[in-house]
Amino acid sequence: MQLLVRVAKYNATPRAVVGSRTISGDARRDRVHNEEMGTKRSSVSPEDQALFLDAIGGTTPLPGRDRIPVPPKPASPIRPEILPPTVKLTVEGDGNRYTARGPGVSVQQTAELRTGKLRPSATLDLHGEKVEPALAKLRTFLLEATRGGHRFLLVIHGKGTHSEIGAPLREAVLSDLLGTCSGFIHAFATAAQSDGGEGATYVMLRGRK
């Protein structure tokens, strides 16, 4: 097809006539550029493409409705470095009622703790929670209580009477108080009956240094 170019006397931009259509020089350059982009070769070589097809040979894509999204791993509410170093606590009790005390804490102090005369300034109710979420809440509770200047707390964990495998939450809470969270603890003891008895624990925090 023959292109006739007409140049206006005072117009520096050439315009081309194609058939009955007039195309400006800018539009013509854009069309040529697009055609060149369309003819560029793929960055994947034939050899790489062949290797990829060979590797996935025989596989069948899963239908969209059968794909199970993997939820992101929940972030830990407390970074490990925030928890204080663990300490060894002295434990006394008969398996149902118990006390535990940190270094330098007297038996008289734990005996007073068990009476319930000291009233808790903060309470955490974990009754009915699953173990892992409950322990995360326990650690956050102890950390925030320490930062807030609280000393005497009540943690409600239940007795496990409705569980077929004992009292997993109660045992997990006590184990965490004796282990991972022991750096927070001045002393702890089974609560008085008026505060839940074996289904709850009094916790006295160490003073902030």
Identify the residue with better confidence: 68 or 55: 55
Q: Please compute the mean of the pLDDT values over residues 117-143 and round it to a whole number.
A: 93
For the chain, the 3-state helix, strand and coil shares in percent, each to the nearest 5, are 35, 20, 45
- The per-residue pLDDT for range 45-63, each reduced to its tens digit, is 777 777 777 777 666 666 5
pTM, full prediction: 0.61
Please state whether beta strands 122-125 and 15-18 pair in parallel, antiparallel, or not at all (unpaired). unpaired
Determine the pLDDT at residue 73: 55
Tell which residue, 160, 153, 159, 139, has the closest CA to residue 188: 153
Choose the weakest-confidence range: 49-53, 89-93, 150-154.
Answer: 49-53
- The per-residue pLDDT for range 173-189, each reduced to its tens digit, is 999 999 999 999 999 99
pLDDT at 44 over 80: no
Domain ranges of the chain: 1-38, 82-205
H or E stretch at 136:
helix 131-147
Taking each helix axis from N to C end, the angle separating 131-147 and 168-178, rounded to the nearest 10 degrees, works out to: 40
Residue where the block lists tokens 């928890």: 83
pLDDT at 140 over 80: yes
Determine the pLDDT at residue 54: 73
Q: Please compute the mean of the pLDDT values over residues 119-136 and round it to a whole number.
A: 93
pLDDT at 8 over 90: no
Q: Which of 19-28, 34-43, 64-73, 165-174 has the highest mean pLDDT?
A: 165-174
Q: Please compute the mean of the pLDDT values over residues 70-83 and round it to a whole number.
A: 60
Percent of residues, the chain, with pLDDT higher than 70: 62
pLDDT at 141 over 60: yes
What average pLDDT does the chain have? 77
pLDDT-derived band of residue 81, with 50, 70 and 90 as boundaries?
low
Determine the pLDDT at residue 6: 47
Percent of residues, the chain, with pLDDT higher than 90: 49
Identify the residue with better confidence: 78 or 197: 197
CA-to-CA separations, 98 to 65, 114, 189, in angstroms, rounded: 53, 9, 6
Q: Which CATH number fits domain 82-205: 2.30.110.10, 3.40.50.2300, 3.30.56.10, 3.30.1370.110?
A: 3.30.1370.110
Q: Say how many C-beta atoms besides its own lie within 10 A of residue 95's C-beta.
A: 5
